[in-house]
Amino acid sequence: MPEKTAPLAQIGMLRHLTHAHWTRIEPEFSTLRHCAAGETVSERGQPLSQSLLLLDGIVGRRIRTGRNHSGRHHLVALQVPGDFVDLHAYPLKVLDHDIVAITDVRMAAVSHTRLKAVLGSHPELSRQLWSLTLVDAAIHRHWALRNGTMRALQRVANLFAELVTRLDEGHGTTGDTYLLNLTQPHIGDACGLSGVHVNRVLRSLREANCCTYAKGRLVVQDRAALNRIADFDPYYLYLPET
Amino acid sequence: MPEKTAPLAQIGMLRHLTHAHWTRIEPEFSTLRHCAAGETVSERGQPLSQSLLLLDGIVGRRIRTGRNHSGRHHLVALQVPGDFVDLHAYPLKVLDHDIVAITDVRMAAVSHTRLKAVLGSHPELSRQLWSLTLVDAAIHRHWALRNGTMRALQRVANLFAELVTRLDEGHGTTGDTYLLNLTQPHIGDACGLSGVHVNRVLRSLREANCCTYAKGRLVVQDRAALNRIADFDPYYLYLPET
DNA sequence: ATCTGTCGTTAATAATTGTTAAGACGAGGA
DNA sequence: TCCTCGTCTTAACAATTATTAACGACAGAT
């Protein structure tokens, strides 16, 4: 028998769900899962029987390229608290990418069996969960856009702008310090840059008094400047109107 | 009363639907829509009350960047016959990007009202449609990967490899000539390259006897070479097992 | 305590790609 | 017919970014 978790808060993108629907699905999350930074949460091709909701920390979607996937890593998405990390495994049964913990993370799990039982009689809840994955898709499109159209400085600034916006949305506050725990090579993997060039870009952002990234921690000194350098428009995030 | 269309074939990604579910939803497509190459099918922010299924031709998802969106265009996705172009508008109500016809296209429409009625009593069909949008999301992730990790030659080759695979999947055959109707700047918009550099890349592919792109038409001379140059692994397309 | 590996930093160099400009070509209109 | 427009093509040049290398700092392992 799985242990019962404490009630979960309706944070971040979960606010796309109406409160009534949230209270309907929240009790179905019956187990907690912890992963330490660097651990693999799930692997490409592995059949999944449950989906995970991220409560705390950051996870990344990673794809390995090259012959027999032995080459470089690349980060194609980052998830923040309130995101489902695995929800697409419910309809698709299997994922085409790895999921790795960037920071230490805490997640809540719901089995696909129970999900199916609930969704079968709640089409509107189905539609709301579907929406969550569609917002992820919109974010993926933006990552393609970022890597396709922006120069290095703007790319990194834009990634930071997106992440702080999404992290703020999770907490419901606006902060100025964020623990991302990404190494400079990680940022390069996400933005399509070499680690060396990420280092140059971070120095530029620091010298522009825009933001400082050190030891996995992002400190935003001038958010307006960050958004300007990033040409950041959060429309694609489909943030719930407050 | 909308005109009734002729029965639609279950092509391309629609084969993710079981035949039983397809026959359930197929009659709901009650109107046809045609667009000429270059026309805008729907615009960012415009509320949509129906979704479109692509029957013939190619459409692109386009995002404008820069202050007040007056800058460059970028293509973040291309859809081929058998794809829904608009299905995410059903849960999301509104799109964050424009949809433009690349070639002349023919589409079938289903109203969200009827979709809601059908899906409300068919949770398994809901899940299958959800899957279709999740495959699109996987393709988006691959586009981010392509623009982030690959050099120009590989990027264009990879885009071509993806498109011919998806177009073949639509027709159920393997061909060697494909009408894409993309200009060289279009390809640049999709791959994050300048039009001039696309021209250089196309010459390389031609001189390698790999494939020839001219007048909007792609002729694949050596598919193995194309897939090799592209480092192409179609796993992410979640092709239905045949 | 020492070794080992990863990360961060910087510089020098090389490769890739963007920009600008100009001419060729073809389609379609006056 | 001639003109115009958009696309394709190429060249020359400039800007961006990757690569390699070297070194210091640090953490974990033995």
For the segment A233-242, the average pLDDT, to the nearest whole number, is 89
pLDDT digits (tens, 9 = 90+) for A86-102: 999 999 999 999 999 99
- Superfamily grouping for domain A12-142: Jelly Rolls (2.60.120.10)
Average of per-residue pLDDT values in chain B: 93
- Whether residue A91 and residue B131 make contact (CB cut-off 8 A), yes or no, is yes
Q: If you measure CA to CA, which chain B residue comes closest to A87?
A: B134
CA separation for the pair B53, B8 (Å, rounded): 10
Listed as ranges, the nucleotides of chain C within 7 A of a protein C-beta are 6-12, 16-21
Closest CA to A175 of A40, A71, A43, A80: A80
Structure confidence at residue B2 (pLDDT): 47
Q: Check if the beta carbon of residue A41 is closer than 8 Å to that of residue A52.
A: yes
Determine which of A60-69, B56-65, B105-114 has the lowest per-residue pLDDT on average. A60-69
Q: Which nucleotide is nearest to B183 (CA to C1')?
A: D7
Q: Using CB atoms, pick whichever of A91, A134, A192 lies closest to residue B91.
A: A134
Q: Which residue has the higher pLDDT, B142 or A170?
A: B142
Contacts of A228 (CB under 8 A, 6+ apart): none
For the segment B74-84, the average pLDDT, to the nearest whole number, is 97
Could you give the dihedral angle defined by the CA atoms of residues B44, B49, B54 and B57, in that order, rounded to the nearest 10 degrees?
Answer: -50
Structure confidence at residue A75 (pLDDT): 96
pLDDT at B53 over 50: yes
Structure confidence at residue A242 (pLDDT): 64
CA of A195 to C1' of C9 (A): 11
Structure confidence at residue B67 (pLDDT): 63
Q: Check if the beta carbon of residue A102 is closer than 8 Å to that of residue A182.
A: yes
> What angle is formed at CA A17 by the lines to CA A92 and CA A113, rounded to 5 degrees?
40
Could you give the dihedral angle defined by the CA atoms of residues B44, A150, B132 and B61, in that order, rounded to the nearest 10 degrees?
Answer: 40
The share of chain A scoring above pLDDT 70, in percent, equals 95
**Statement: the CB of B200 is under 7 Å from strand D:** yes
Two tokens, residue B103? 């070639």
Two tokens, residue A65? 């390229």
pLDDT digits (tens, 9 = 90+) for A210-234: 999 999 999 999 999 999 999 999 9
pLDDT band at B80 (very low <50, low <70, confident <90, very high): very high
CA separation for the pair B49, B68 (Å, rounded): 26
For the segment A178-192, the average pLDDT, to the nearest whole number, is 96
Contacts of A225 (CB under 8 A, 6+ apart): A208, A209, A210
CA separation for the pair B89, B74 (Å, rounded): 20
**Statement: the CB of A147 is under 7 Å from strand C:** no
pLDDT at A2 over 50: no
pLDDT at A113 over 90: yes
Contacts of A194 in chain B (CB under 8 A): none
- Whether residue A127 and residue B77 make contact (CB cut-off 8 A), yes or no, is no
> Secondary structure of chain B in the HEC alphabet?
CCCCCCCCCCCHHHHHCCHHHHHHHHHHCCEEEEECCCCEEECCCCCCCEEEEEEECCEEEEEECCHHHCCCEEEEEEECCCCECCCCHHHHCCCCCEEEECCCEEEEEEEHHHHHHHHHCCHHHHHHHHHHHHHHHHHHHHHHHHHHHCCHHHHHHHHHHHHHHHHHHHHCCCCCEEECCCCHHHHHHHHCCCHHHHHHHHHHHHHCCCEEEECCEEEECCHHHHHHHHCCCHHHHCCCCC
* B32 CB within 8 Å of a chain A CB: no
Q: Using CB atoms, pick whichever of B138, B192, B236 lies closest to residue A148.
A: B192
Structure confidence at residue A132 (pLDDT): 96
* A62 CB within 8 Å of a chain B CB: no
Structure confidence at residue B5 (pLDDT): 64
pLDDT digits (tens, 9 = 90+) for A15-43: 999 999 999 999 999 899 999 999 999 99
Domain parsing of chain B, residue ranges? 12-142, 151-237
Q: Among residues 86-105 of chain A, which lie with CB inside 8 Å of chain B?
A: 88, 90-92, 96-97
- Whether residue A236 and residue B96 make contact (CB cut-off 8 A), yes or no, is yes
pTM above 0.75? yes
* A21 CB within 8 Å of a chain B CB: no
Structure confidence at residue A172 (pLDDT): 81
Q: How many CB pairs under 8 A join A and B?
A: 145
Structure confidence at residue A171 (pLDDT): 83
For the segment B216-237, the average pLDDT, to the nearest whole number, is 96
CA of B77 to C1' of C26 (A): 30
Q: Using CB atoms, pick whichever of B91, B135, B137 lies closest to residue A127.
A: B91
* B74 CB within 8 Å of a chain A CB: yes
Q: Using CB atoms, pick whichever of B96, B131, B135 lies closest to residue A235.
A: B96
CA distance B133 to chain A (A): 7
Structure confidence at residue A73 (pLDDT): 87
* A117 CB within 8 Å of a chain B CB: no
Task: Examine domains B12-142 and B151-237 and report if their fold is the same.
Answer: no
Contacts of A123 in chain B (CB under 8 A): 116, 119-121, 123, 126
Closest CA to B25 of B81, B80, B87, B79: B87
**Statement: the CB of B195 is under 7 Å from strand D:** yes
Structure confidence at residue B195 (pLDDT): 95
**Statement: the CB of A216 is under 7 Å from strand D:** no
For the segment A47-56, the average pLDDT, to the nearest whole number, is 96
pLDDT at A5 over 80: no
> What angle is formed at CA B148 by the lines to CA B147 and CA B154, rounded to 5 degrees?
55
* B120 CB within 8 Å of a chain A CB: yes
Structure confidence at residue A65 (pLDDT): 84
pLDDT at A1 over 70: no
Q: Which class for B94: exposed (0-12), middle (13-18), buried (19 or more C-beta within 10 A)?
A: middle
CATH class, domain A151-237, is mainly alpha
For the segment B216-239, the average pLDDT, to the nearest whole number, is 96
Average of per-residue pLDDT values in chain A: 93
**Statement: the CB of A175 is under 7 Å from strand C:** no
CA distance A56 to chain B (A): 23
Q: If you measure CA to CA, which chain A residue comes closest to B134?
A: A88
pLDDT at B69 over 70: no
For the segment A142-156, the average pLDDT, to the nearest whole number, is 97
CA distance A212 to chain B (A): 24
CA separation for the pair A205, A219 (Å, rounded): 11
φ, ψ of residue A171 in degrees (nearest 5): -80, -20
Closest CA to A58 of A32, A42, A77: A77
CA separation for the pair B218, A151 (Å, rounded): 30
Structure confidence at residue B68 (pLDDT): 60
Structure confidence at residue B175 (pLDDT): 83
**Statement: the CB of A192 is under 7 Å from strand C:** no
